Structure 1
Amino acid sequence: MLTKLTAQARSRHELAEALRKRNVPDEVGDRVLDRMTEVGLVDDAAFAESWVTSRQSRRHLSKTALRQELVRKGVDREQIDGALEQVEPEDEYDAALALARKKARTTAGLDPVVRRRRVAGALARRGFGSDVTRRALAEALDPNADDSLDTP
């Protein structure tokens, strides 16, 4: 159990699942997790905030994608909402633009229509909405931008 916590932060739900896989009775697992929560080793609100910060900056995910990941990890809706409050619209746009620029660099030799479609697809798969995608595409694929994306 502590090994799981030291390797990476985990939600209470994830730890409960790990205990179930080891055939620990639910009532024993609940007591262990309650005690870990009391001493601060398990804190879903802090986990969600850390997850949002990390995943948005490293993986360039939208609020929608972050919400889905936290739901899969069993984090409570209120805690998810609290963690996502820290993401400003401009932060989400910056993440979309970073992803669009990265994808634009890797598709530099393609036909412009294909290139645009691939960059837009990457943004859509990360959960960005149409307005954010449109803005990021315009800036990342603009041939007159300061930072030329056509050169490696």
Structure 2
Amino acid sequence: MGGRFAFSLGAEVVAKENLQVGQELSDNQIELLTGGDQLQRCLAAAYRYLGYRPRSESELRERMQRRGFAAETVDAAVVRLREQHLLDDEAFAQFWKENRESFGPRSQWLTRLELKRMGVMNDVIEQVVVGMDDEENAYRAALQKTRRWAPADYQRLRRRLGDYLRRRGFKYEVINHTVEKIWQERGNGSG
């Protein structure tokens, strides 16, 4: 614009619109091009964000808005990401549940709370957590933890393991049953 810098566009927008150096653009064309460029930038940021791990739609929206993208740009990016099957709250919730069950077993209650904090809808959460077995998850969490330490007496095992399982959202009855089971498997009698 008169030999001065006016705005920048990504290479993808320039190529897609077949723009040339020196080409004159109307104000309306500039607005459309910069809007398209913002969408491309938002998508690029979203791809990077999704590259680390799957995300909920709410997490992605919040992150893109914090990065300064307008709500309508974020909406358009979300639509595009859904079409590409890169953003799906049901698949994300299932991934989260399976990941938690495999690597850091937690209770159904705590998994539900984590998904809720990530903005997943309640009906999706309920579909996903309905099959979780707190007894099994508590037992697997206890096995993972007790491999690293071996309290010799029942009270110490009960306190340490009970605290650990409580932080993972398990109920008192589940914790008691799990502690007793671990103690029995170690060849000890009743505590």
TM over 0.5: yes
Return 5+ residue gaps in structure 2 as ranges.
Answer: 1-45
Q: Deviations over 1:22-80 (max 9, x none)?
A: 10011110121122113311000110011101112210111011011101111111111
Percent identity among equivalent residues?
A: 30
Q: Are residue 24 (structure 1) and residue 69 (structure 2) matched? A: yes
Q: What residue in structure 1 maps to residue 124 of structure 2? A: 79
Matched, 1:129 2:174: no
Partners of 2:157 and 2:179 within 8 A in 1 = no
Q: Which amino acid aligns with 1:67?
A: R
Question: Does residue 113 of the first structure (1) align with residue 155 of the second (2)?
Answer: yes
Q: What is the aligned partner in structure 2 of residue 34 from structure 1?
A: 79
Confirm or deny: 8 A CA contact 1:104 1:141 kept in the other structure.
no
Task: Calculate the aligned-residue CA RMSD, in Å.
Answer: 1.8
Q: 1:105 Cα shift? A: 3.8
Give, as a single letter, the amino acid of the residue that structure 1 aligns with 2:73.
V
Are positions 1:13 and 2:58 aligned together?
yes
Q: Does 1:141 align with 2:178?
A: no
Runs of 4+ in 1 over 2 A off after TM superposition: 101-107, 109-112
1:114 offset after TM fit, Å?
Answer: 2.3
Query: What's the CA shift for 1:5?
Result: 1.2
2:48 aligned partner: 3
2 CA distance for matches of 1:80 and 1:12? 14
- TM-score of the aligned structures, taking structure 1 as reference length: 0.85
For structure 1, which runs of at least 5 residues remain unmatched after alignment? none
Conservation of the 8 A alpha-carbon contact between 1:56 and 1:62? no
1:115 shift after superposition: 2.2
CA–CA separation in structure 2 for the residues paired with 1:114 and 1:44: 41
Aligned twin of 1:47 = 92
Q: What's the TM-score once normalised by structure 2's chain length?
A: 0.69
Structure 1 position 107, deviation (Å): 3.9
Greater RCO, 1 or 2 (C-alpha within 8 Å, sep 6+): 1
Q: Which has the larger radius of gyration?
A: 2
Q: Is 1:102 the equivalent of 2:144?
A: yes
Report the more deviating stretch, 10-19 or 99-108.
Answer: 99-108
State which drifts further: 18-27 or 92-101: 92-101
- Deviation of 1:18 after TM superposition, in Å, equals 1.4
